Amino acid sequence: MIVDLFAGPGGLDVAAHWLDVPSIGIEFDESAVLTREEAGLSTIHADVTRWQPSDFTEVVNVLTGGPPCQTFTVAGNGHGRKALKDVVSLVEMLGEGKIDDVLAQVAKYEEVRTGLVLQPLIWVLRALEEGRPFEAILLEQVPTVKPVWDAMKTVLESKGYGVDVGILRTEEYGVPQTRRRAVLASRWHVPSAIVKLPEPTHQKYVGTALNTEPTLDFSVGRPQWISMAEALGWDEPFTVVSNYGSGGDPKNRSKRRHDRPAFTVTGKISRNRVVIDDSREERRFGPEHAGRLQTFPTDYPWSGTDISQQIGNAIPPRLGTHILAWLLGIDVELDEKFFADRSDHWKGPDDERALQIRNGIARTEVLGNSITTILKSPSRHVVEVPNPKLSPAPAT
C-alpha cells in the first residue's frame, strides 16, 4: 500500500487506483482534500511533518511524494539558488543521521515550505531506523529540484537502495502536454544498475514555428505525441495563446496550434486564450479541459476553491501510471485502450478498498479527525490486506 505525502487532488492516487494499488494521501489544503473526498480517495487531512512511518501499519510499504515547489520554481534567482544549495547540504546531513539537527535548521527558515522537500527522505530514514524500510519510493518535482534528488540518491544508495533520477517529459508518456519533471525512483535492495526509469512511449515534442509541419522522428519506433485536439475531442481548429511571454519578452505571447500538445498546465491555465480559427470566438480552458490535458478523467470531481491551482499542481495520472507500474513490477499493458477506457469517467475506490486502507493506519485517532472516506466506515474492522512482496522492477 502507498502512502502519498503532499497528495494534492490525487494525481498519483488516480494512477495507483488505475493499477489497483491501494493508496492513502496526506494533504492539508482544504480544497484539495474536498476534491479527494468527492473522488473517494482516502486522505489524512493533516500536515505531513506531524506524521511518520510508525503511524502506519506494515502494509504501507511504498512511499511517494510531490512536495510543494514554490521556493524552487524561482531557482533562476538568488533566493532560489541559495535555497537549493542549503537543502542539498541538509540532505547530506540527513545521510549522516542528523535528523534532529536538520529539523532545527529548517525551523529557522522564513519560508516554511523550503524544508518540506526533505520530508520524504526523513520518512525513509525513520522507517529504516524502525527496521521496516519502504520497498519502493517515488518522488516528483520541478526540474530545478534535480540536484536535491541527486543528493538523495547518494544517501539512499548508501542505505541499500537502488535509485534512478531523471527529467521526464510528459508528452513522451502520452500526456497531451509538454511538462518536464524531475523524478526519483528507488527500490530497496535492487541494484541501481537495474533501477532505470521507464522508457518513453511516445515521441518528444520539438517546437516549430506556429503553422509549420511538426518535426517527427518515427525511426525511434514510437508514435507521435498526443495533441490537445485529440485529448479534448474538439473538431474546430484553434490556437492557444499562452499567458506567458517567449524569448524574454512578456508581450510576445507564445502560441500553439490545436494539433500539438498543450503548454505546461499551470495554476494559471485559465488565463490562456483559446482562439477558434473560423469564428475568432475566444474560449478559456475550464477545469474539465485542464484536467483532461493533465490526463485526469473528464468528470473528475474538482471541488473547493482554486481548482486551476489544484490541477496545475498534480502529477499527470498517465505519467504516474507508467512510473508506478514499472516501479512496482506490475505486469499490465499500458496501451491507448487502457487509458481510453479510463479517460471519460472516474470511478473511485469502493468501500471494501476504503476498509483495507483504514487498516494501513496505526495512529487511530485520525479516524475521528479525517473528513474523508476513511471516516465513512464507522468502526475499525480487521480486514485481511493482500500485500505480496513486490516483484523486482524490470530493467528497461
Ligand X SMILES: C[S@@+](CC[C@H](N)C(=O)[O-])C[C@H]1O[C@@H](n2cnc3c(N)ncnc32)[C@H](O)[C@@H]1O
Q: Over the range 225-264, which residues count as b (16 or more CB within 10 Å of their CB) and which as e?
A: bbbbbebbeeeeebbbbbbeeeeeeeeeebbbbbebbbbb
- Closest CB to ligand X among residues 190, 293: 293
Of the candidate spans 211-219, 307-315, 344-352, 361-369, the one that interacts with ligand X by CB under 6 A turns out to be 307-315
> Given candidates 3, 16, 24, 27, which one binds ligand X under the rule CB under 6 A?
27
Using CB under 6 A as the binding rule, whether residue 313 contacts ligand X is answered as yes
In angstroms, what is the C-alpha Rg of the chain? 21
Burial-class residue 137 by CB neighbours within 10 Å (0-12, 13-18, 19+). buried
Of the candidate spans 7-15, 143-151, 230-238, 388-396, the one that interacts with ligand X by CB under 6 A turns out to be 7-15
> Given candidates 26, 139, 228, 328, which one binds ligand X under the rule CB under 6 A?
26
The nearest distance, CB 368 to ligand X, in angstroms, is 19
Of the candidate spans 166-174, 250-258, 299-307, 310-318, the one that interacts with ligand X by CB under 6 A turns out to be 310-318
Of 265, 305, 259, 260, nearest in space to 285 by CA: 265
Using CB under 6 A as the binding rule, whether residue 6 contacts ligand X is answered as yes
- Closest CB to ligand X among residues 105, 387: 105
Cα angle: 74, vertex 118, 37; to 5 degrees: 90
The nearest distance, CB 27 to ligand X, in angstroms, is 5
Using CB under 6 A as the binding rule, whether residue 47 contacts ligand X is answered as yes
383: its cell numbers? 480486514
- Closest CB to ligand X among residues 136, 314: 314
Of the candidate spans 45-53, 149-157, 209-217, 363-371, the one that interacts with ligand X by CB under 6 A turns out to be 45-53
The nearest distance, CB 140 to ligand X, in angstroms, is 6
- Closest CB to ligand X among residues 313, 373: 313
The nearest distance, CB 138 to ligand X, in angstroms, is 10
> How far is the C-alpha of 34 from the C-alpha of 212, rounded, in Å?
43
Kindly give, in sequence order, each residue whose CB lies less than 8 Å from that of residue 117, ignoring residues fewer than 6 positions away: 67, 69, 71, 72, 87, 141, 145, 148
> How far is the C-alpha of 86 from the C-alpha of 148, rounded, in Å?
10
- Closest CB to ligand X among residues 49, 356: 49
The nearest distance, CB 249 to ligand X, in angstroms, is 29
Of the chain, the end-to-end C-alpha distance in Å amounts to 24
- Closest CB to ligand X among residues 28, 234: 28
> How far is the C-alpha of 263 from the C-alpha of 32, rounded, in Å?
23
Using CB under 6 A as the binding rule, whether residue 307 contacts ligand X is answered as no
Of the candidate spans 25-33, 206-214, 241-249, 322-330, the one that interacts with ligand X by CB under 6 A turns out to be 25-33
Of residues 66 through 105, those in contact with ligand X by CB under 6 A are 66, 68
Amino acid letter, residue 188 = W
- Closest CB to ligand X among residues 11, 162: 11
The nearest distance, CB 229 to ligand X, in angstroms, is 25
Query: Which alpha helices (H) appear in the chain, and where do they start and end?
Result: 11-18, 30-39, 70-73, 78-95, 99-107, 119-129, 146-158, 228-232, 287-293, 307-313, 317-327, 336-343, 351-358, 366-369, 373-376
- Closest CB to ligand X among residues 118, 354: 118
Check residue 44 and report its DSSP letter.
E
- Closest CB to ligand X among residues 46, 128: 46
Using CB under 6 A as the binding rule, whether residue 18 contacts ligand X is answered as no
In 3-state terms, what secondary structure has residue 336?
A: helix
Binding site for ligand X (CB under 6 A): 6-12, 26-29, 32, 47-49, 66, 68, 116, 313-315
